[in-house]
A and B are shown apart, each in its own frame.
Chain A
Amino acid sequence: MYQYDEIDQTMVDERVAQFRDQVARRLTGEISEDEFKPLRLQNGLYLQLHAYMLRIAIPYGTLSSRQLRGLAQIGCTYDRAWGHFTTRQNLQYNWIKLEDTADALADLAKIQMHAIQTSGNCIRNTTTDQFAGAAHDEIEDPRVWCEIIRQWSTFHPEFSFLPRKFKIAVTGSPNDRAAVRVHDIGLRMHKNDAGEIGFEVIVGGGLGRTPFIGKTIRDFLPKQDLLSYLEAILRVYNQFGRRDNLYKARIKILVHEIGIETMREKVEAEFAASKDGALKLPQEAIAQIAAQFAPPAFENLSGISADYANAFRTDFEFGLWARRNTFKHKQPGYSIVTISLKKEGAPPGDASAEQMNAVADIADRYSFGEIRVTHEQNLVLAHVKQADLPAVFKALKAYDLATPNIGLASDIIACPGLDYCALANARSIPIAQQIALRFRNWERAHDIGELKIKISGCINACGHHHVGHIGILGVDKAGEEFYQITLGGAADEQAAIGDLIGPSLNTQDAVDAIDTLVETYLRLRKSSDERFLDTYRRVGLAPFKEAVYVSA
């Protein structure tokens, strides 16, 4: 993992001191709220519905156990002993006081973390595959490139006041777990015909009011040109992106309005002028950063652990969990474990300080002291010996962290919605909880199989509803909460925007409709191997729409 050097630490410490002074001047009235607001936002501090919310950057979702314990401690000291993991692989505290914020940021700096660039019209936290460096299907570890992007983009003077916020995601695997096609820039690592590894560069994806799947602007970009090319895209966006209309300011609108061909011409011209300049990445610098992500000291293991096989055979609960929550590792004898933060009845993505400390302890004992945050609001232990899986399961279960539902109907992405967010029109968490209750029966849930339900409380789409197999969007109708349902969205390598099935429904009808949609799928599927999304793609919208509205 990357460690701050003296320059990093000084920069972050000085930023905390600067913010402490800004808060003091706000409290004495030396600066007004209008003047203070952009300053607090640049430090991740929002004023939400009930309180201040502090958003912490977790670079590419990677945490050490020390950092996770630190986050738990900050949650205990300044919040209500909880934290909320988000779809941006970040952490949010929902009950922070302005007067405590500088102290909280100072405590964060002690664990080499900060809240810089978690808000504002800058390049935000770069996200990636939560299985990076561990997945069996990986071409190359994308975190190296996320780190290079982090170092380049943090405090980048030219890109601190873009037309709008800017999000970059990287995947090092052909199976995209980072949703790269719905980011402002998506980077997909792949091999060209000559066997060289580079990037497919995708631009102009995004959700929100106007959702778009990104378009490929470059099929293959050599690694050493990554920053030059990113800078060329950002420079074109900074120059031509709209600043006259907040809703048309994202790069996706620019790409849509001028077309990908024109966008490519402009970017390539900019790139040609700068590609061999200061941003060309020297091999030694890449190697130096890659060394910080060197694989941990794996043991040489072969075959299947007898303990694991025995537990799988004899312990039904463990077997259920291992089937759903573990993933194939590149190293023989190891597995990747996803820890569900979607226990029935819990707000998706929430973790108590006690749970965070428990995960940190389990990571220390069984996974080289490292934790990942997923964009689907779960946690990951990336390197667990298969022989240790029964013990890990037992330890997680003691803290309500062993729900066997990864990728199932109850593993729902939901934004905080109107329960917390000042922008929301409707609540997301309660409807997520009600839907999860419908699928509490493990037999039914596992029979249904993979089903990604994603819920947003407003059109800004923090809950990624557009790319849910079933997407749910909360809307306000004359002061009442209603929900629009979309079908067929996907955030993977075959990314798609879902189709609206019809008029919005009230809360109860929307929850019933999800049941109806699932029952319709079970009736229509060819076999238990055909996923909900496959069935939808085969039969289309009509039978699902009819089932929801004709039977209503």
Chain B
Amino acid sequence: MAKAPKLNSQPQVVTANHLLSGDVVYLTKAATWSRRIHDAAVVANVDAGAALLAEAEAQAKQNIVVAPYLIPVDASVTPPKPIQYREILRAEGPSTETRPAA
């Protein structure tokens, strides 16, 4: 059986929480932040994500977002789907959520 690819070698996107609202956000190609992973800029792997992450960290210093980091995604689907279960929940919301957003 073929070995699963390492998470670091997977395509990546940058995520963070929006400082004011706390919402989960993703860095876009235009270096803005979107609440939809659909809009996220996707890079080939962690190494390629370095510049993206640097941009995100600069924005964290400007008090736009908190604690940005790279996450691996399956980029063969649209929108890209996070690999880790925690990140799927962050992207899609609580699995038990039945309440409308304010």
Contacts and interface: CB of A to CB of B under 8 A. Distances in A.
Interface of A: 26-29, 33, 47-52, 79-82, 95-99, 347, 418-420, 427, 429-430, 433, 476, 479-481
A99 B20 contact: yes
Contact of B66 (A47, A96, A418, A481): A47
A51 B99 CA distance: 14
- The residue among A48, A81, A95, A480 with the most chain B CB atoms within 10 A of its own CB is A95
Nearest to A76: B102
Interface string B31-67: 0000000000000000000000000000011110011
B71 interface: no
A347 B19 contact: no
Contacts of A98: 19-22
B60 A50 contact: no
Contacts of A79: 102
A419 B102 contact: no
B20 A479 contact: no
A50 B84 contact: no
B96 A430 contact: yes
Interface size class of B (residues with CB under 8 A): 20 to 34
Contacts of B101: 80, 95
A438 B75 CA distance: 38
Nearest to B99: A80
B93 interface: yes
A27 B63 contact: yes
A190 to B, nearest CB: 42
A29 B94 contact: no
B28 interface: no
Given A49-B90, A479-B83, A82 B22 contact: no
24 contacts: A26-B19, A27-B19, A29-B62, A33-B19, A47-B17, A47-B22, A47-B66, A50-B90, A50-B94, A79-B102, A80-B99, A82-B99, A95-B101, A95-B102, A96-B22, A418-B85, A418-B86, A418-B89, A419-B95, A427-B95, A427-B96, A429-B95, A429-B96, A479-B85
A481 B85 contact: yes
Nearest to A432: B96
Contacts of A99: 20-21
B85 A26 contact: no
A99 B63 CA distance: 13
A418 B61 CA distance: 28
B27 interface: no
A95 B63 CA distance: 20
Contacts, number: 76
A51 B22 contact: yes
Given A419-B89, A420-B94, A33 B66 contact: yes
Contacts of B74: none
A189 to B, nearest CB: 39
Nearest to A31: B63
Q: DSSP class of A's interface residues: helix, strand, loop or mixed?
A: mixed
A479 B4 CA distance: 13
B5 interface: no
Contacts of A82: 99
Interface in B2-36: 17, 19-24
Top 8 closest A-B pairs, CB basis? A419-B94, A51-B22, A52-B22, A80-B99, A429-B96, A97-B21, A29-B63, A99-B20
Nearest to A29: B63
B3 to A, nearest CB: 13
A28 B20 CA distance: 12
B20 to A, nearest CB: 5
A389 B9 CA distance: 63
Interface string B69-87: 0000000000000011110
Given A48-B22, A419-B89, A429-B96, 4 more contacts: A29-B63, A80-B100, A419-B94, A419-B96
A233 B89 CA distance: 42
A217 B67 CA distance: 44
A117 B73 CA distance: 39
Given A47-B17, A80-B101, A95-B102, A347 B96 contact: yes
B93 A50 contact: yes
B19 A80 contact: no
A378 B102 CA distance: 26
Contacts of A480: 85
Nearest to A81: B99
Nearest to B7: A479
A109 B6 CA distance: 51
A480 to B, nearest CB: 7
A212 B8 CA distance: 39
Given A81-B99, A433-B96, A50 B21 contact: no
A97 B20 contact: yes
Nearest to B21: A97
A27 B96 contact: no
Contacts of B61: 29
A50 B85 CA distance: 14
